[in-house]
Structure 1
Amino acid sequence: MTTTQSRLPAGPFPRHRAGLRSVAVFSQKGGSGKSTVAIHLAVMASRGHRVLLVDADPQGTVAAWGASRTRPAPMIVRADPTNLVEVITSAQRENFEIVVVDCPPHAVAGTAALLRLVDHVITPVQPTMPDIAATKSTVAMVTAAGKPISFVINRAPPRAAEVVQAREALSPLGPVSPITLGDRRAYARALTDNLAVSECARGDDKAVAEVLRYWIWLDGHFLEVDTWQRRRAA
């Protein structure tokens, strides 16, 4: 079995909780593309870190993607939102550095507890009115859990005014990534082959580049959050 290859360098990921950082990809709006975002972040992170990708969504999209996958990283496990604490504890014991959780698309039993366990919440949002409106309930849950949230505009059409409007609407609710993830066929094609775009021999360079740039932005954003939390606790 060969190790995962990629054509672009990955940025560093700040260490946290004895080497472990946990990130939930969560949205209460179905069809936001959260599973695609979770998969691509986990694959990019696995280039330089031990990554555990957790499928906590009853739909099982991540698990189905990984079922026939021949590459060893990231490691993929199924979990129920109510037993995620055991999964994270095991991940820390086995020296994983990053845990990416694909959450259920709606608030099911255990979702609130799941959000309290992770370090950060990422919410993909399509640049449409229904998707933006649905973020309010997502933000309410994350705020109640006491966790930081950030947004990434996903499935964005090129050079569309809707993207600018979406960013303006989301900014009062939390940090919005300046990097958008485009509405590209490359993502679906890669997933069909049990890959991410960065693993395809002839992948879409624009798709690979935007995932990498988003990853680098997250790196800096997480570091800012860590610094702010340490200062607040001092």
Structure 2
Amino acid sequence: MHTILIAAQKGGAGKSTLAAHFGAMAERDGRTLLIDADPQGSLAFWYERRAAETPLLVKVGAGEIEETLDMARADGIAWTIIDSPPHNAPLIGSLMSRATVTIIPVRPGPFDLAAVGATLDMARKLKAPVACILNACPPITREAETTIVSEARGVLTDMGAPVLPGQVSQRASFSHALITGQAVTEFEPDGRAAREIDVMWTAVTQLARTFPRTA
């Protein structure tokens, strides 16, 4: 089983949005379980509106995650995606130790870039595989990322953070899809948002498959 932890110690980074879309994409590669461990419950909100029966989702408290992962593995789940709570460093550290890879969504702004350092430091101390995704970015213009995104990528690189290629842009289609319980790849499969998510999930899976499956 591959476990993808989506973590950010700052709220508002877009963890739940990525978890929902990655969950829908992961189901194509095998049985997938979404774990909503964020007390805000945004992922569960999306799932309640979803017509499709897959991926599976469970909403759990911090003390239930380890048991849920054990049960998922025993049940033959191929991909588990965890939407973790912000502001809970001990829990995030514990989950990092178990995850195949931790994905950190980062908006291209000064507050988000300042906050990412603590999560990266935690990953380094634990020697946990990690990668950043530039999320909620201004859309690409003329096939080139905007200056603010390029600058943010440079800041993360200078911090020693692995950054996945591409970006996830701020687009209305994400909101339209989420409110109907869909991913953009279902709501508007030929749209730009769908292409960005497809490219990003492909990069995540390629990275995850370079590491051993989680126990």
- TM-score by length of structure 2 reads 0.90
Unaligned runs of 5+ in 1: 1-19, 227-234
CA distance in 2, matches of 1:92, 1:134: 32
Aligned to 2:153: 167
- After superposing on structure 2, the runs of 4+ consecutive aligned residues of structure 1 that deviate more than 4 Å are none
Unaligned runs of 5+ in 2: 140-144
**SS in structure 2 of the partner of residue 46 of structure 1:** helix
Matches within 5 A, 1:59-74: 59-74=40-55
Aligned to 2:181: 194
Q: Is the 8 A contact 1:122 1:152 kept in 2?
A: yes
Letter in 1 for 2:176: R
CA distance in 2, matches of 1:175, 1:119: 15
Q: Is the 8 A contact 1:82 1:114 kept in 2?
A: no
- Deviation of residue 220 (structure 1)? 2.3
Q: Is the 8 A contact 2:100 2:208 kept in 1?
A: no
Matches within 5 A, 1:13-162: 20-107=1-88, 110-158=91-139, 159-162=145-148
Deviations 1:10-35 (A, max 9, x none): xxxxxxxxxx0101000011111111
Q: Is the 8 A contact 2:8 2:116 kept in 1?
A: yes
**SS in structure 1 of the partner of residue 201 of structure 2:** helix
Q: Is the 8 A contact 2:33 2:77 kept in 1?
A: yes
Letter in 1 for 2:166: I
- Deviation of residue 68 (structure 1)? 2.9
Q: Is the 8 A contact 2:32 2:77 kept in 1?
A: yes
- Deviation of residue 41 (structure 1)? 0.7
Q: Is the 8 A contact 2:49 2:179 kept in 1?
A: no
Aligned to 1:185: 172
Distance 1:192 1:61, change over 3 A: same
- TM-score by length of structure 1 reads 0.83
CA distance in 2, matches of 1:85, 1:45: 21
Letter in 1 for 2:153: R
- Structure 1 residues 119-128 or 214-223, which shifts more? 214-223
Q: CA RMSD in A?
A: 1.6
CA distance in 1, matches of 2:90, 2:105: 22
Q: Identity of paired residues, percent?
A: 31
- Deviation of residue 67 (structure 1)? 1.6
